Amino acid sequence: MANNEEVIDSPVGRVNKHIHEYVATNGAQGHDWRGYPTLLLTTRKRISGKLRRTALIYGRDGENVILVASQGGAPRHPLWYLNLSHDPHVEVQIRGETLTGWARTATPAERPRLWQMMARLYPPYDSCQAKARREIPVVIVEPAK
């Protein structure tokens, strides 16, 4: 991702505030959200090509970062997931560290283990899946080498 490109932050009020606090403090404020670890994910918008940033709960599986595209159990995938499905090159900020990587949806063989890991980390994911009319994707961000 280009360093000089403008990044558009999520317009959702509470998420936007979370992002601004996270960026301003290198995650000292914002990394721990209600007791859960969060990061900032930057994707390239699939239609405009502009960069878009949001805050998400995350887990770790070795070097990989794990995300859940739950959108609170909404019937549609979140925009960030649609964006990375179009362009898998992403950037994540965890506290003061920024890394680039490649995002992909967990395979059917990988998903059960990673879902259980993330549902242990954030138990509401199970109720999100129960009310969603779709299988909620688990996303693996593999660091660029």
Closest CA to 55 of 39, 71, 66: 39
What pLDDT does residue 2 have? 60
Task: Answer whether residue 87 is part of any domain.
Answer: yes
Q: Are 145 and 86 in contact (CB under 8 A)?
A: no
CB 105, CB 139: distance < 8 Å: yes
What are the mean pLDDT values of the chain's consecutive 10-residue runs (145 residues total)?
81 90 94 96 94 97 98 94 96 96 98 98 96 96 93
Task: Tally Cβ neighbours within 10 Å of residue 37.
Answer: 17
Question: Do 140 and 92 contact (CB within 8 A), yes or no?
Answer: no
Q: Is residue 126 part of a domain?
A: yes
Contact (CB, 8 A) for 143 and 62? no
Name 107's bridge partners.
none
Residue 55 lies in a domain: yes
pLDDT score for 70: 96
Cα(53)–Cα(96) distance, rounded to whole angstroms?
15
Q: Is residue 52 part of a domain?
A: yes
In the prediction, which pLDDT does 4 show? 82
What's the pLDDT at 11?
84
Q: What is the CATH number of the domain that holds 65?
A: 2.30.110.10
The answer to whether residue 1 is domain-embedded is no
pTM: 0.94
Q: For residue 20, tell me if it sits in a domain.
A: yes
Number of domains in the chain: 1
Return the pLDDT at 5. Answer: 87
User: Residue 55 in 3-state DSSP?
Assistant: strand
* Residue 145 pLDDT: 79
Q: Are strands 7-9 and 51-57 parallel, antiparallel or unpaired?
A: parallel
Range of the domain at 80: 7-143
Could you give the residue ranges of the DSSP H alpha helices within 13-141? Answer: 13-24, 79-86, 111-121, 124-131
